[in-house]
Amino acid sequence: MKIKCIAIDDEPLALRQIADFIKQTPFLELVADCKNAFEAMDVLEKEKVHLLFVDINMPGLNGLDFVRSLTKKPEVIFTTAYSEFALEGFKVDALDYLLKPIGYKDFLKSVNKAKGYFEMFDKASKNITEDEYLFVKSEYRIIRIKLNDIKYIEGMREYVRIHTLSTKPVMSLMSMKSLEEKLPPDKFMRVHRSFIVNLQQITTIERSRIIFDKDVYIPISDPYKDKFQKFIDKHIY
């Protein structure tokens, strides 16, 4: 698989460097090099792009605001001269960031991470069975979570928090709807706007609430009660 890329930087030398790095990397394909975010928007309307290399400090529309403005955004690697922007990059779910001046060694390390991400998500996009894993982005890492280890998933605006049996909760930038679509419906059920539960991990139900770990109470809201009750009726004795 060739990863199709756009390089975006208002500095001509920096733009040329990233474009040259892309061209010399066998699994990358340069779709366009753009002097600003507005040029990149035009390209994105016409071309399928997997990965953006975006300078953060650009006049008119900076890299962070540009990425935030995209409704369907490719994956992102930020390029910046300022390390303090790393946290902001995390907030818009970037795969990585490269600190200028950028050498090819650091560039290659970053794009290898991106390559691994695309390969894992390609595998994860296939049908999930109970013995398989879910791959999620969390901060600048890609974390593999076994489906059987998930207890419940909590929606937090644009983030989800995945609660598991064996590790601390994992935060990832995605919607509850997109995650719900990836999970096998015979194993996971949405019981509230903000909660998806692993049906196999339910041990106690009390007053329209699912109880996890004695002190975690997950409400079953009205829109989901009928579907959940049908599940209970199938398994009650």
Task: Look up the CATH number of the domain holding residue 40.
Answer: 3.40.50.2300
Bridging pattern class, strands 216-219 and 209-212: antiparallel
Tell me the pLDDT band of 130, cut-offs 50, 70 and 90. Answer: very low
223 and 194 in one domain?
yes
Alpha-helical regions (H) of the chain: 12-23, 37-46, 63-69, 86-91, 104-124, 176-182, 222-235
What pTM, to 2 d.p., does this model score?
0.61
Bridging pattern class, strands 133-138 and 195-198: unpaired
Q: How far apart are CA 1 and CA 4, in angstroms?
A: 9
> pLDDT at position 2, please?
92
114 and 181 in one domain?
no
**Average pLDDT value over all residues in the chain:** 88
202 and 99 in one domain?
no
213 and 108 in one domain?
no
- Residue pLDDT, tens place only, 78-129: 998 877 665 565 567 788 889 999 999 999 999 998 998 888 766 655 545 5
* Mean pLDDT for the stretch of residues 189-214: 91
Give me the phi and psi of 204, to 5 degrees please. -140, 135
> pLDDT at position 28, please?
97
Let me know: does 34 contact 7? Beta carbons within 8 Å. Answer: yes
Structural domain of residue 80, as residue ranges? 3-124
Neighbour count for residue 55 (Cβ, 10 Å) = 25
109 and 33 in one domain?
yes
